[in-house]
């Protein structure tokens, strides 16, 4: 079970007040992975994932060969899935657990409306995405 206290420790959810974190914790799926398990594979339909414990390795199929990129490892507090959701595409890379992991999976509660995903309404909290991307403006 995902708790509001766990979400409070994750930077992207700092923008939420306690009732919003409680609501998100109730909706989020608690995904447990053993070392070597896949969280998501390139080409899969994605959700928004937040790593609460553990580390995941990123890999990408490049011209028919799967390559791992250790320098892009995801760890506790990192999140994944926002780019394919915003673009309306399948997962662009694969993630495999390096260590045992606990991951919060937030599905697009707006339903199948990809335009809603494009408006960054993952889990209903577009203000979190605004905060996450605030520093990326060029």
CB atoms within 10 A of CB 51: 24
Domain membership flag for residue 58? yes
Number of domains in the chain: 1
Q: Which domain holds residue 92?
A: 30-126
Segment 28-55 mean pLDDT: 95
95 token code pair? 């993630």
Tell me what pLDDT residue 71 has: 81
Q: Residue 136 and residue 130: Cα distance in Å, rounded?
A: 10
Q: Give yes or no for residue 137 having a pLDDT over 80.
A: no
Please report which helix (H) or strand (E) contains residue 21, including its range: helix 18-27
Domain membership flag for residue 121? yes
CATH of residue 87's domain is 2.60.120.10
Q: Give yes or no for residue 42 having a pLDDT over 90.
A: yes
Banded pLDDT at 126 (limits 50, 70, 90): low
Domain membership flag for residue 20? no
Tell me what pLDDT residue 103 has: 97
Q: What is the pLDDT of residues 89-119, one digit of tens each?
A: 999 999 999 999 999 998 864 444 333 333 3
Domain membership flag for residue 5? no
DSSP structure string for 50-110: EEEESEEEEEEEETTEEEEEEEEEEETT-EE-HHHHHHT---SSEEEESS-EEEEEE--TT
> Could you tell me if 30 and 2 are in contact, meaning their C-beta atoms sit under 8 angstroms apart?
yes
Domain membership flag for residue 70? yes
Domain membership flag for residue 91? yes
Domain membership flag for residue 106? yes
Tell me what pLDDT residue 107 has: 82
What are the two backbone dihedrals, phi and then psi, of residue 2, each rounded to the nearest 5 degrees?
Answer: -85, 140
State the pTM of this model.
Answer: 0.76
Domain membership flag for residue 3? no
Tell me what pLDDT residue 117 has: 33
């Amino acid at each position: 079970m995902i708790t509001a206290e766990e979400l409070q420790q994750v930077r992207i959810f700092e923008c939420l007040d306690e009732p919003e974190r409680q609501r998100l914790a109730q909706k989020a799926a608690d995904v447990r992975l053993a070392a070597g398990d896949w969280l998501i594979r390139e080409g899969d339909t994605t959700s928004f994932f937040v790593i609460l414990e553990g580390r995941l390795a990123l890999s990408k199929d490049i011209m028919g060969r799967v390559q791992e990129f250790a320098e892009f490892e995801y760890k506790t507090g990192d999140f994944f899935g926002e780019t394919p959701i915003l673009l309306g595409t399948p997962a662009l890379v694969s993630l495999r657990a390096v260590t045992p992991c606990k991951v919060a999976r937030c599905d697009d509660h707006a339903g199948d409306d990809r335009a809603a995903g494009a408006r960054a309404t993952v889990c209903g909290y577009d203000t979190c995405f605004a905060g996450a991307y605030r520093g990326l403006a060029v």
